[in-house]
Amino acid sequence: MKILCAASLLGAAITLGAAGAHEPDAYQASVEQWRTGRMERLRDPNGWLTLVGLHWLEPGWQSVGSASSNDIELAVGPQRLGRIGIFDGAAHFQPAGHAGVVVEHAEKRMDGKTTSYVLAPDSAKQQSVVRIGAANFVVIERSGRMGLRVKDPQAATRTSFTSIDQYPIDAGWRFDAVFVPHPAGKTIDIASVINTIEPMANPGAVVFKKDGKDFRLEAVDEGDGQLFLIFADRTNRKETYGPGRFLYADKPVGNRTVVDFNRAYNPPCAFNAYSTCPLPPPENRLDLAVTAGEKKYVGAGAH
């Protein structure tokens, strides 16, 4: 890939100060539609608002269930659900005979009359799910560690959710940005709220101009070609979520993409303590108050 000169591109960044001004109603409607979809995704019975637990697994068997005497105490389910452990780098689950669980997309093993399952984590092509009535748990993998992520559609974080305060839609925060590509294979270290650091694919940066000044954000590619922008700005803590917010930009066409901060949103960690959100890299801490997108969440479970 030929690397374009960043200096020559910076001057080419075009701010759509009145982006969509020729069709303001259509632009307003498109952002409102996106925001409606965002609220629907949050309210989903399997969405981020349903998280009620995150438990890291250790080698060997650990008892699991809702009783406090278990090695892993769940917020949902029977007192004795069974046992779970890590063996040879894989998570194994052995349900108690009375547990009444349903295990999906897992390798089933029989040892005499004992049934166990090898649970595929979220890093696998198809993740295993252990259903406990309406609730469920899955295995996640982070920096070589495995943990149980527990979900309950009756969680107060979901049942009491109404909405998130938003800044008024302002086309002045929608930018025709320049994409500055990096050499193929480049990565960027991304820290997380659980004190891990993961190298993530860093295909390039986006450059936009606001009030006559150039701003730059390093992008992450999660595998679908979209540009994932994890950013912090001057509104954090007072008006918006303290650690920062998320934003996606479309896959660049040539060296152009659109960065629309009206679609900036809170990470899952804003709603509960059981998420493993990535944090903005130092390069993405903007010396700018981005008064667009979602504001700080103040509902049940807010962090």
Residues 52 and 41 in one domain: no
Residue pair 233/289 in contact (Cβ under 8 Å)? The answer is yes
Write down the H helix ranges in 125-181.
156-159
Asked, for residue 301, whether it belongs to a domain, the answer is: no
Tokens found for residue 81:
């659900």
Does residue 240 fall inside a structural domain? yes
Query: Is 167 in a helix, a strand, or coil?
Result: coil
pLDDT tens digits, 114-131: 999 999 999 999 999 999
For the four alpha carbons of 21, 23, 25 and 29, in that order, the dihedral sign comes to negative
How distant is the alpha carbon of residue 277 from its chain centre? 6
Which residues on adjacent β-strands are paired with residue 113? none
Mean pLDDT (whole number) for 69-93: 97
In this structure, is residue 1 part of a structural domain?
no
How many distinct structural domains can be found in the chain?
2
Q: How much is the average pLDDT of 169-179?
A: 98
The phi, psi pair for 263, rounded to 5°, reads: -105, 15
Residue 1 pLDDT: 34
Within this chain, do residues 277 and 225 fall inside the same structural domain, yes or no?
yes
Do 77 and 24 lie in a common domain? Answer: no
* CATH code for position 133: 2.60.200.20
299, part of any domain: no
Residue 99's pLDDT band, with cuts at 50, 70 and 90, is: confident
Domain residues for 220? 6-45+163-284
3-state secondary structure of 188: strand
What would the pLDDT profile of 192-202 be if each residue is shown by its tens digit?
999 999 999 99
Is residue 45 helix, strand or coil?
coil
- For range 66-89, the mean pLDDT: 97
Residue 140: Cβ within 10 Å count: 19
In a shared domain, residues 280 and 168: yes
Examine the domain organization and report whether 40 and 174 are in the same domain.
yes
Q: What average pLDDT score do residues 281-288 get?
A: 98
Residues 130 and 233 in one domain: no
Q: Is it the case that residue 112 has pLDDT exceeding 50? A: yes
- 158 domain-assigned: no
Residues 209, 79 share a domain: no
Let me know whether 27 and 56 are in one domain: no
Q: Does a structural domain hold residue 39?
A: yes
With H, G, I as helix, E, B as strand and everything else as coil, classify residue 36: helix
**Residue 3 clears pLDDT 60, i.e. is over it:** no
**Between 189 and 99, whose confidence is greater?**
189
